[in-house]
Amino acid sequence: MTKKIIYIIYTLILWGTTLGFAQGAKGNSGDQTTATRLLQAGDKFYDQRLYTASMKSYLDGLRIAEHQGYSELTARFYNGMGNLYSTQGDYQMGLYFYRKALRSSRKTGQKTLQNAVLNNLVGASCFVGQADSGMVFLQQMEANVEHNSGYRYNILMGRGLVAKSQDQPAAAASYYIQARQYAIRAGMDSSFVDNTNSCLAQLYMDTHRLDSAILLLKKNEEWARRTNHDEFLAETMHLLAQAYDAQGDATRASTCRMEYANLMEKLHYSDELNAMKNTQYIYDANKNASTINLLTQQQIFDSQQIRTQARWLLALAIALALIIVLFIIVSAQKRQLHHAYNRLYDRSQLFLASPIQAKEAPQAANKGDHLEAHQGGNLESNQGDKQRDDQRDDQRDGQGDDQRDDQRDDQEEKAQEAAPRSLILTTEQRAALLADIGRVMGKVEEFCSTDFSIDRLAQLVGSNPRYVSEAINEGYGKNFRSFLNDYRIKEAMQRLADNDRYGHYTIKAISESVGYKSQANFINIFTRLTGMKPSIYQKISRERISIEKSC
């Protein structure tokens, strides 16, 4: 909450300052200073992976640069916007802005700026399969000769990308290796070497040289973890999962795929991309409207300049005051909510500590009776229509479990309690069967399997689903689904509180590890049984552990 408020305050101040400069310094060096500061802010936000804020800074600066005809700044803003979209994997939009940047950069006559844009155009063109366009941009870049290590490295990498797009893997590998060797000799940053390793690894995977690909990707993984570069680590985990799959190593592939999913969930790529597009859409709409009404708005703007500045300052002061008030209110509410959640957590521990026991304790049964209960004997004739209905309900509960809601389970339990039934098993037979069921449910790996059902339970105890259903209904007073949920939720509670072994798991990963296919269904059942959502439970567990360690 505090970080968000600081970001909002900073954005408002930057917004108000920018507007003041734009209104009070038209046609002088103030505009260029403001645009330069916005470019620096956008670059800083980009480095910090605050992509939406970066896009807003670029667009605000672009408005000034285009209006005043600053070609160099315009090119840099468009190039930065292209980088934002390319980072999110939208290379088509990246190409659109890179082309705009190239047109503006050519007006400046600066080789370094033009080559930076051309290098981006080569990469984006190859990534969308436009090898011919990539070759054209590469040739233009080769014509703008520069004498520095970055230029030489980019030329070699560009040749490799174009060769790969033209289905020339041998040539591509040769250029990539030359680029890597050059980066090492020139003492360039290790990120250049790791970038080359990624390209080489993908090429090796395409040519079925899996061992070489995995070796390079493991080096990249080490660098990404050392530098905390989550985006590069996510890309590396994705490629490693593909390599292990191709190699037939399902265990390592699954581990890499799970870490990739966790990283992508953490990075929120889709949210950032949508937010950037919305920001750009608003800018384009405002730009079009501004063009249509330019002459009229210019007159109004000049006559109301001082009054408008005062209004913006007043609005800024009011906004800051509202933010402070809201912060105080939210902080108080958070404290109250935190106390309430702690009380719920204490109650949930009673549920966790209470053993799952049958209403009638399992007793030692005659071996012949036990066998008869498992095999059926001649008791088939004693069952009624209600018993068969209960069995069908439990069988459906054990199979399509994540597709039904909790309300249906409640209705089934009430119907089973209210309707009369003809029991098949004797008390001794039911006690023996309940003892076997208890032993099976003591094995976590069984009931945490997504394929665990009443049929599977019956198979494990050597009985049939009908007898297992009756034993659970009569012994525990609930149907199979509710019985299974108790075991799974208790196991989930233990894993959520085990920070050493499961601290890096997401809620979705926890739900899948205890047998739920639907994260939403897991959250609903967990909340119903404990009174709080899994994420809140996990947070309070960590707080309690931290307090215990500090004491």
Q: What are the tens digits of pLDDT across the range 32-86?
A: 999 999 999 999 998 887 888 999 999 999 999 999 999 999 999 999 999 999 8
Q: How far apart are CA 298 and CA 291, in angstroms?
A: 11
Structure tokens belonging to residue 239: 């490629």
Q: Is the dihedral of CA 283, 284, 288, 289 positive or negative?
A: negative
Element (H, E) at 237: helix 230-247
Q: How far apart are CA 481 and CA 144, in angstroms?
A: 70
271 versus 436: the higher-pLDDT residue is: 436
Q: How far apart are CA 394 and CA 371, in angstroms?
A: 23
For the ranges 6-15, 54-63, 315-324, 476-485, which has the lowest average pLDDT?
A: 6-15
Q: How far apart are CA 146 and CA 73, in angstroms?
A: 21
DSSP string, 254-275: HHHHHHHHHHHHHHTHHHHHHH
Q: How far apart are CA 5 and CA 184, in angstroms?
A: 44
Element (H, E) at 22: helix 2-24
For the ranges 188-192, 287-291, 424-428, 533-537, which has the lowest average pLDDT?
A: 287-291
Spatial neighbors of 446 by CB under 8 A, at least 6 apart, are 440, 452, 456, 460
The one-letter code for the residue type at 262 is N
Question: Which residues of 282-362 form beta strands (DSSP E)?
Answer: none
Q: Where are the alpha helices (DSSP H) in 354-443?
A: 367-375, 385-399, 406-418, 427-441
For the ranges 101-105, 236-240, 337-341, 360-364, which has the lowest average pLDDT?
A: 360-364
Q: Is the pLDDT of residue 385 over 90?
A: no
Q: How far is CA 27 from CA 59, 72, 243, 290, in A?
A: 19, 17, 57, 18
Q: How many helices (H) and strands (E) does the chain have?
A: 28, 0
Per-chain mean pLDDT for the chain: 81
Closest among 271, 273, 278 to 59, alpha carbons compared: 278
Q: Where are the alpha helices (DSSP H) in 421-518?
A: 427-441, 444-447, 454-461, 465-476, 480-497, 499-502, 507-513
Section 94-122 average pLDDT = 93
Q: How far apart are CA 508 and CA 166, in angstroms?
A: 41
Tokens 């980072």 belong to which residue?
Answer: 87
pTM over 0.85: no
pLDDT of residue 520: 95
Q: What is the pLDDT of residues 464-481, one digit of tens each?
A: 999 999 999 999 999 999
Section 432-449 average pLDDT = 93
Q: Is the pLDDT of residue 388 over 70?
A: no
Q: How many CB atoms lie under 10 A from the CB of residue 265?
A: 13
pLDDT of residue 525: 96
Section 435-441 average pLDDT = 93
Q: Is the pLDDT of residue 361 over 60?
A: no
The one-letter code for the residue type at 410 is D
| Segment of 243-252, 291-300, 485-494 carrying the highest mean pLDDT | 485-494
Percent of the chain with pLDDT over 70: 77
Residue 461 confidence class, pLDDT cut points 50, 70, 90: very high
